[in-house]
Amino acid sequence: MTARRGPYGADGGLSPGAAARQLLRAAARWQAGLAAAEPPALTAPPPHPPSPGLAARPAARLPAMAAGVLILAIDGHGGAGKSTIAAAVAAAAGAALVHTDDFFRQPRRGGGLTGYYDLARLREQAIEPLAAGRAATFRRFDWASGRGLLPAPVTTGPAALVIVEGVLAAAPALADLVGRSVLVDTPEPERLRRLRARIAPPDWDAGWLAAEQAYFRDVRPPSSFDLVLPGGRPAGQPARAFPPAASAPPRRGTTGSTRTSSSPG
């Protein structure tokens, strides 16, 4: 697949609207491919060992995949613009939208980036039922208090297109469910500028920044994604597309189903 060029925003990257339109076209092609081939082609995880405690399940325990359902993961550093693009695509396509931020947890020592997210709960309560063509019901992390889960559950789906958005959306532990993966690749200076506008200095987490850098360098580099959308990139540089492969503080608040301006993604 060859990614199409532009149009670009004032900073040289794809504007959110242009990125969403490009991704909508790609998603339509990928969904058409699902209709023509069974089972759907899944994005293979990169050749790295699975995260501790999140090893791939035996084949006998893999969940059923409903015909025609595409799980689309939109990953990227904090502040890259993932949430904006995902929301636009979901609204235009009538997709179910799941945020990895809803599955945040208090960081576990030595767990790397996966220590910040409950990926087992994400797949079992959200991705597996949606992949099987059922609605998903789950409780979101309580960002207002910074701990625990909100008491009221939320329900999303079912839908033919399921968007999983946020840091670790394309984690190897979810690769058997994710049909296509997209990286929103925004240069670090722009990402940090956005984050500093949203996050108070006391809330910065140096451990997160280091873990995030290691994840996108060693576990999910750009070449392991199906599509890379540039954000804030030099003018004239197009999105890059690849065949399926064989530095942000935690967010500090949500209100209902709408995340607050302090959220960096």
Look at residue 1 and tell me if it is in a domain. no
Look at residue 51 and tell me if it is in a domain. no
Q: What is the CATH number of the domain that holds 36?
A: 3.40.50.300
Give dist(CA 40, CA 83) in Å, integer. Answer: 26
pLDDT of residue 167: 94
1-23: per-residue pLDDT in tens? Answer: 333 333 444 444 677 788 888 88
137: helix, strand or coil: strand
CB atoms within 10 A of CB 120: 12
Whole-model pTM over 0.85: no
Region at 76 (left for phi over 0; alpha for psi -120 to 50; beta for the rest):
left
How many residues in total does the chain contain? 265
pLDDT of residue 241: 52
- The low-confidence residues of the chain, meaning pLDDT below 70, are 1-13, 35-65, 109-110, 201-202, 204, 232-265
Look at residue 11 and tell me if it is in a domain. no
Give dist(CA 25, CA 40) in Å, integer. Answer: 18
Q: Which regions of the chain does DSSP assign to beta strands (E)?
A: 70-75, 96-99, 136-138, 154-156, 161-165, 180-185, 227-230, 240-241, 254-255, 258-259
173-192: per-residue pLDDT in tens? Answer: 999 999 999 999 988 888 88
pLDDT of residue 3: 35
Residue identified by tokens 């599955």 is 103
Look at residue 77 and tell me if it is in a domain. yes
Look at residue 125 and tell me if it is in a domain. yes
Taking CA atoms, 243 is separated from 43, 95, 99, 171, 223, in Å, by 9, 24, 25, 17, 8
CB 181 within 8 A of CB 166: no
144-166: per-residue pLDDT in tens? Answer: 888 899 999 999 989 999 999 99
Look at residue 56 and tell me if it is in a domain. no
Task: Please count the structural domains in the chain.
Answer: 1
Look at residue 231 and tell me if it is in a domain. yes
Look at residue 264 and tell me if it is in a domain. no
Helix axis angle, 16-36 to 82-93, nearest 10°: 50
Q: The domain containing residue 226 runs over which residues?
A: 16-45+62-257
